[in-house]
Amino acid sequence: MAEVLLFHHAQGLTDGVQEFADGLRGAGHTVHVPDLYEGRTFDDLEEGVGFARETGFGTILERGKAAAEGLPAGIVTAGFSLGVLPAQLLAQTRPGVRGALFFHSCVPTSEFGGDWPASVPVQIHSMDHDPSFVDEGDIDAARALVASAPDAAELFLYPGSGHLFADSGLGDYDPGATALLTSRVLAFLDGRN
C-alpha cells in the first residue's frame, strides 16, 4: 500500500480533510495529515487565505517540508488547494517521491525549479468552472504540466463551480464528484505500491 503525505487547504485541517484521509486509510494506505496552521481552522475561505498570507507562504512551505522529514523516500504527496504548494514542492524536489495528487489547484512548475520530473506521476483534479482554478491560472498551469509530461500527468475536470468540492464539511462539497475523484485516487495509489 502507498504512504501518503496529505496537506490541508486554506481553511485548515478540517473534519472533511480528515474524513478524506480516513477514506484512503480504509483502503489500506498510510496517510499522514500534518497541521500547517498549528490548530487554527476557519469557517470562511477568505479568512483562511488571509491567515496563510499573514503566516507567509514561505512558512507554509517550510512546514510542509518539515512534515516530510523522517518519512520514507517513496511517499506520494497530496494537497487540497493551498496544500498543493508543499505537495508540489516536494514532488518536484524531493528524491524518490512516487506520485503526486493535486486537488483544486496547480501552480507553474517554474515556481519550484523548472520541469516536472518525468518519473513522478501526477493527477490534478478540479471542477471545470471553479473560478479559483480557471480564472486564477491554475488550469493553465495544469494543462502546461500535462503537455510537458504527457506520460506522467493527468488532468481531471468535473462539472461544476465548487472549489473545495472534496471536503465533506464545506458548502462546495459535491458527493458525486468526490466519489469519482476518490475512485481515481485509489486506482492511482494502488499503482504506487
Task: Give residue 114's pLDDT.
Answer: 83
Residue type, 148: S
For residue range 168-188, what is the model confidence (pLDDT) as tens digits?
999 999 999 999 999 999 999
| Average pLDDT, rounded, for the chain | 96
- Can you tell me the distance from the alpha carbon of 25 to that of 108, in angstroms, rounded to the nearest whole number? 30
- Can you tell me the distance from the alpha carbon of 69 to that of 160, in angstroms, rounded to the nearest whole number? 37
What is the Cα gyration radius of the chain?
Answer: 15
Residue 163 has pLDDT above 90, yes or no: yes
Q: What angle do CA 107, 110, 111 make, to 5 degrees?
A: 60
For residue range 112-153, what is the model confidence (pLDDT) as tens digits?
988 999 899 999 999 999 999 999 999 999 999 999 999 999
In this prediction the pTM is 0.97
pLDDT classification of 38: cutoffs 50, 70, 90: very high
- Can you tell me the distance from the alpha carbon of 2 to that of 35, in angstroms, rounded to the nearest whole number? 20
- Can you tell me the distance from the alpha carbon of 189 to that of 193, in angstroms, rounded to the nearest whole number? 7
- Can you tell me the distance from the alpha carbon of 101 to that of 79, in angstroms, rounded to the nearest whole number? 7
Task: Give residue 152's pLDDT.
Answer: 93
Domain extents in the chain? 3-190
- State whether CATH 3.40.50.1820 applies to domain 3-190: yes
C-alpha cell at 184: 481515481
Task: Give residue 192's pLDDT.
Answer: 79
DSSP state for residue 110 in the 8-state scheme? G
